[in-house]
Amino acid sequence: MLANWIHIVIVHFAVIGTPWLLYRAVKQRNDTMDNETWKLNYSLLILFGITAGIAYFTGPEAADYLKGFLEGYNQNLVENHALWGRVAFVIQVIAAFLGIMGWASILQEEKPDKRIAWLIIALLAVNILVMLYTAHLGGEIRRPDLSF
């Protein structure tokens, strides 16, 4: 049960935080890449990568827990949710590595390359779509009556 709650709660950090971070990155795309706002962006990328990892690795235990009490448990839907969750996790980890790259440049007293901002924007935009679909599938697992 604990893994289920961890999965449900922690996944929302990335699901809610990623669109907010995309907004910040788009708004600050022309700023110098070593200012305080970009330092926060890099830190948040790393944090969301970690939370995505926690959500991903608690997923199987959450599925096992739900299997015990949900009527009409749809294994195919769970597998589809897991597949798209894995895609979202990998994209989020790549974005986190760009955050690490940004911090590594700053710590070596260099300005991160401007192209990092565009890579981050592209990854986050794609990942928002993937996470929305993954979240939709997760919602269908719990509430199949609300599916469309």
Q: What is the pLDDT of residues 47-77, one digit of tens each?
A: 999 999 999 999 999 888 888 877 777 889 9
Residue 90: which domain range?
2-146
Q: What's the structural domain count of the chain?
A: 1
pTM: 0.90
d(CA 112, CA 20): 21
* Banded model confidence at residue 147, pLDDT cuts 50, 70, 90: low
The mean pLDDT value for 113-132 works out to 96
Phi and psi of 39, rounded to 5°? -60, -40
Give the pLDDT of residue 104: 97
pLDDT in tens, 78-122: 999 999 999 999 999 999 999 999 999 999 999 999 999 999 999
Question: Is 38 in contact with 86 (CB distance < 8 Å)?
Answer: no
Residue 142 is predicted with a pLDDT of 78
pLDDT at residue 138 greater than cutoff 80: yes
Q: Could you give the residue ranges of the DSSP H alpha helices within 32-114?
A: 36-67, 75-107
The tokens of 90 are what? Answer: 């990998």
